[in-house]
Amino acid sequence: MSFASFSEFLAMGSHGPYVWSAYGISFLVVLLNVALPLLARRRYLQEEARRLRREGAQ
């Protein structure tokens, strides 16, 4: 462990805002990259289900 306490870990020796904002934004971007294709897939399946139901009703 390179830090003595948790508050020291958060402070990152005066570089806290830089380190945490870099990690935070990158984490959000990574999450977005996973979530968008999963949501797109779900939407596509829902659309197809609707289309099949419509065609089945005719």
Partner 1 sequence: MNWTWFHKLGSPKWFYEISSLWLRGLSVAAILLILVGTVWGLAFAPPDYQQGNSFRIIYIHVPAAFLAQSCYLMMAVAGLVGLVWKMKLADVALQQAAPIGAWMTFIALLTGAVWGKPTWGAWWVWDARLTSMLILLFLYFGVIALGQAITNRDSAAKACAVLALVGAVNIPIIKYSVDWWNTLHQPATFTVTGKASMAPEMWLPLLLMVLGFYCFFGAVLLLRMRLEVLRREARTSWVKAEMSRLLEKVR
Please, what sign has the CA dihedral across residues 31, 32, 37, 42?
positive
Considering only residues 38 to 57 of the shown chain, the ones binding partner 1 according to CB under 8 A are 38, 40-41, 44-46, 48-49, 52
- Cβ–Cβ under 8 Å, residues 9 and 3: yes
The residue from 7, 29, 31, 56 that contacts partner 1 (CB under 8 A) is 29
- Report the distance separating Cα 34 and Cα 25, nearest Å: 15
- What does the binding site for partner 1 look like in residue numbers (CB under 8 A)? 1-3, 9, 12-15, 18-19, 21-23, 25-26, 29-30, 32-34, 37-38, 40-41, 44-46, 48-49, 52
